[in-house]
Amino acid sequence: MNIYVNSNLEFHLQNNYISYIIKILENGDLGHLYLGKRLNHKDNFSNMLQIFEHQVPYTPEQIDGVSGFALDSLKQEFPGAGTGDYKEPAYVILQDNGSRVTNYKFLKYEILNEKPPLKGLPHTYILNNDEVKTLKITLRDELLNSDITLTYSIYKNFPIITRSSSIVNNGEKDLTLERFLSFNLDIVQKNYELLHLSGAWARERNIITTPINQNRIVIDSKRGASSSNSNPFIALKEKNADEFKGEYIGINLVYSGNFIGQVEKDHYDNIRINMGINPFNFSWILEKGESFQAPEVVINYSDSGLNTLSQNYHNFYKNHLIRGVWKDKARPILINNWEATYFDFNEEKILQIAKKSKELGVELFVLDDGWFGTRNGDTSGLGDWWSNLDKLPNGVEGLSKKINDLGLKFGLWFEPEMVNPDSELYKNNPHWALSVPKRKPTLSRNQLTLDLGRSDVREYLYEKISTILKNSKISYIKWDMNRNMTDIWSGVLEAKRQGEVAHRYILGVYELMDKLTSEFPNILFESCAGGGNRFDPGMLYYMPQIWTSDNTDAIERLKIQYGTSIVYPISSMGAHVSAVPNHQTGRITSIKTRANVAFFGAFGYELDLNKITLKEAEEVKKQIEFFKENRRLLQFGTFYRIESPFENGFQKTSWAVINEDKSEAIIGVYRVLSIPNPNFDYITIPGLNPNFKYKITDEDILGEEFFGDELANSGIKFRKIGLDVHDFNSLEKLGDFRSKLFKISKINP
Ligand code: DGJ
């Protein structure tokens, strides 16, 4: 890993996998030359510059008397507005004379042997300074007396560059940031398409691929949360690239609020991508001496398909984003009472569910919504963080002790960021909720959003939550957030600063999360937002797992978990076995299939285990034993997607997890609808050691021993899932929504 600086001010960030080359252009702007597979270093990369040899028709040129030097056709690293580049800028700054024209030029650079943290924002980190180098480039607008600093880090062991940008105003006059994105990348079109993750509540993170024509595609959220609708992730993929081959460039924003990601192809076939805080409803005033830090982006490169890109993200996030004691520790198998009881519970009912769970091997009981204030439904009590003694006569404190006495750890649900108007909190502090004076605020799920940008709101929440955590025996917290933002206006900011509210809110959430997770380092925190409305790297910095979706249907989860795994490690995805008919889809699947899907996640249950049949209970016991035996492999192994639920009419999905030394793997295969008169099923298994001999013990597989190369190239055949022609009497195996798990183990010579 190195950062070379050529005498003509070209910077080459290089490691064993990738090269990223940029250059200070003749006019002082920062140009982009290359991002891709590693290149040998040389003293001059000028051939990569896109300066025409003739005048660029009807286009402003930047250097008087020099033809061809036009920002509109040059690839740039952080373009501004108003001096001849007509594409989407990375920043727009309103000045006191009403102008938005800026002119930031190269001032200095610095190379550091470390990765500096981003103050107040989540960020990737690296503890060993031998594994990272950072380049900081500062640009200055002399007239404004303001500096923009672009920060690039390159890592020894990852084909990844992280970038962020910041700005300081040293001038006398205020500057108003109307847009200040995290990064920009202009690259040459190589037959790229755009891949992104889009969806809705209960349909999160579907994989969408879109052609890139001469236009601009916007992937964004204006909801105040990163959102279920679009994840802050975009990737360029070569047209024929797939899970196992071809080039991908992934970009993921480490941020949980409104974001924008744009892909714009220009009239010279260059592609501009930029990403950052959404300029919609955003502005930020910088007074003299003030600075602004934009969130980080993680740029990831693969020339061997999407699986490799995902595995890079998974490894990087597992080791250099997720923090704390739970990062490397086995996650407990939990049971959550939400779908078992909703709001209708009391201590006795909870203890009954907990006892049965303990009997079957569960390790942690989580008490969900409804334990506090007057919260007997979703219309009241939110914000009143004290026990509802009608339901829990011994309070959370007493219940947590009883659950611990059963030999289970105890976890508790909070939704700190919200308030029901029908609550003590709201009665006493109505001005704490986001709302515009004299206007009726818009409710969603009967609740309003608290203004987490306010320090008094954060102090109240800290006080209430930490008191409960101190007084009870709590090992786990589910931090929920169940509405998107409206009526964005804060009582503590002057009129000209109201554009800052949504970002200040997220900064406030981060501050509170940081305080609580630092003060209670042994508690496992799981983030949630009406399921997966905030599944982003920002949240993962504070909380190592996230409730993936409120949709617990095993078949729907195939798509949701497959899509989520494009960026996020499976150990970060909360995945539970719930009751049937499923509460979101009405679908009936076997308890086996439900577990076979949930095993590939932070595994748990979410139903009343007293209400399943004896046979199912026996199966649950075996599932838990299986998970405990294979927990390390499932939590820390390398995840491979094999067959996509988004292709071939969603007939079949398969995936695998393989351990580090490639001696063990677990493969999950899922068939949606059963097929009459079928051929065998086939599956190829990538990622094993081609020269190791493996054993697969399974009644449906003919033959027992396979070399890794045979598994990867010829694959294995097995009896069709869902229609077992050898055993028509076995209802267990017949019909739709069937699945199989194979355990593969190396045979030691
Ligand atoms: C939404 C969450 O996603 C659910 O799991 C549950 O906690 C409910 N909120 C409770 O209100």
Q: Which DSSP string do the residues of 516-545 spell out, in sequence order?
A: HHHHSTTSEEEE-BTTBTT-SHHHHHH-SE
pLDDT at 56: 84
Q: Does 736 carry a binding-site annotation?
A: no
Domains 2-320 and 643-746 are alike in CATH topology: no
pLDDT at 681: 86
The band of 721, judged by pLDDT with boundaries at 50, 70 and 90, is confident
pLDDT at 677: 79
**Which of ligand 1's atoms lies nearest the C-alpha of 336?**
5
Ligand 1 centroid to 367 CA: how many Å?
11
Ligand 1 centroid to 202 CA: how many Å?
12
Catalytic residue (choose from 72, 451, 550, 553): 550
Omega within 30 of 0 (cis) for the link into 581? yes
pLDDT at 726: 53
pLDDT at 727: 55
Ligand 1 centroid to 474 CA: how many Å?
19
Domain boundaries, the chain: 2-320, 643-746
**Which of ligand 1's atoms lies nearest the C-alpha of 413?**
7
Kindly report, residue by residue over 629-673, the tens digit of the pLDDT. Answer: 999 999 999 999 999 999 999 999 999 999 999 999 999 999 999
Q: Does 186 carry a binding-site annotation?
A: no
The band of 730, judged by pLDDT with boundaries at 50, 70 and 90, is low
Minimum CA distance residue for ligand 1 atom 2: 530
Nearest CA to 602 out of 572, 642, 564 is that of 572
Kindly report, residue by residue over 428-451, the tens digit of the pLDDT. Answer: 999 999 999 999 999 999 999 999
Instruction: Tell me the percentage of the chain whose pLDDT exceeds 90.
Output: 91
Question: Measuring from each residue's beta carbon to the nearest atom of ligand 1, which residues come in under 6 Å?
Answer: 338, 368-369, 413, 480, 482, 528, 530-531, 547, 550
Q: Is 608 a catalytic residue?
A: no
Q: What is the DSSP secondary structure assignment for residue 157, as one 8-state letter?
A: S
pLDDT at 189: 82
Which class is domain 2-320? Answer: mainly beta
Q: Give the tokens for residue 114.
A: 């470390």
Ligand 1 centroid to 342 CA: how many Å?
9
Ligand 1 centroid to 371 CA: how many Å?
13
pLDDT at 723: 58
CATH superfamily name and code, 643-746:
Golgi alpha-mannosidase II (2.60.40.1180)
Mean pLDDT score, 231-237: 98
The band of 67, judged by pLDDT with boundaries at 50, 70 and 90, is confident
Pocket test of ligand 1: the residue of 480, 481, 484 to mutate, having most ligand atoms within 8 Å of its CB, is 480
Q: Is 550 a catalytic residue?
A: yes
Cβ within 8 Å of residue 450, ≥6 positions away: 383, 416, 417, 418, 419, 432, 433, 434, 457, 461
Is the per-residue pLDDT at 729 higher than 60?
A: no
pLDDT at 728: 53
Kindly report, residue by residue over 324-381, the tens digit of the pLDDT. Answer: 999 999 999 999 999 999 999 999 999 999 999 999 999 999 999 999 999 999 999 9
Minimum CA distance residue for ligand 1 atom 1: 530
**Which of ligand 1's atoms lies nearest the C-alpha of 547?**
3
Pocket test of ligand 1: the residue of 345, 366, 368, 376 to mutate, having most ligand atoms within 8 Å of its CB, is 368
pLDDT at 414: 98
**Which of ligand 1's atoms lies nearest the C-alpha of 478?**
7
Minimum CA distance residue for ligand 1 atom 10: 369
Q: Does 451 carry a binding-site annotation?
A: no
Q: Does 533 carry a binding-site annotation?
A: no
Pocket test of ligand 1: the residue of 201, 379, 417, 550 to mutate, having most ligand atoms within 8 Å of its CB, is 550
Contact 488, 281 (CB under 8 A): yes
Q: Does 368 carry a binding-site annotation?
A: yes
Ligand 1 centroid to 435 CA: how many Å?
24
Ligand 1 centroid to 528 CA: how many Å?
8
Kindly report, residue by residue over 539-548, the tens digit of the pLDDT. Answer: 999 999 999 9
Backbone phi and psi for residue 402, each to the nearest 5 degrees, phi listed first: -60, -40
- Cα–Cα distance measured from residue 468 to residue 310, given in angstroms and rounded to the nearest whole number: 38
**Which of ligand 1's atoms lies nearest the C-alpha of 528?**
3
Nearest CA to 166 out of 186, 148, 188 is that of 148
pLDDT at 731: 57
- The larger pLDDT score, comparing residue 730 to residue 54, is at 54
Minimum CA distance residue for ligand 1 atom 9: 530
Q: Does 596 carry a binding-site annotation?
A: no
Q: Does 661 carry a binding-site annotation?
A: no
Mean pLDDT score, 37-63: 90
Is the per-residue pLDDT at 241 higher than 90?
A: yes
**pLDDT averaged over the chain?**
96
Rg of the Cα atoms in the chain = 27
**Which of ligand 1's atoms lies nearest the C-alpha of 378?**
11
Ligand 1 centroid to 658 CA: how many Å?
32
pTM equals 0.97
Is the per-residue pLDDT at 308 higher than 70?
A: yes
- Cα–Cα distance measured from residue 421 to residue 63, given in angstroms and rounded to the nearest whole number: 61
- Cα–Cα distance measured from residue 188 to residue 196, given in angstroms and rounded to the nearest whole number: 20
Is the per-residue pLDDT at 725 higher than 70?
A: no
The band of 718, judged by pLDDT with boundaries at 50, 70 and 90, is confident
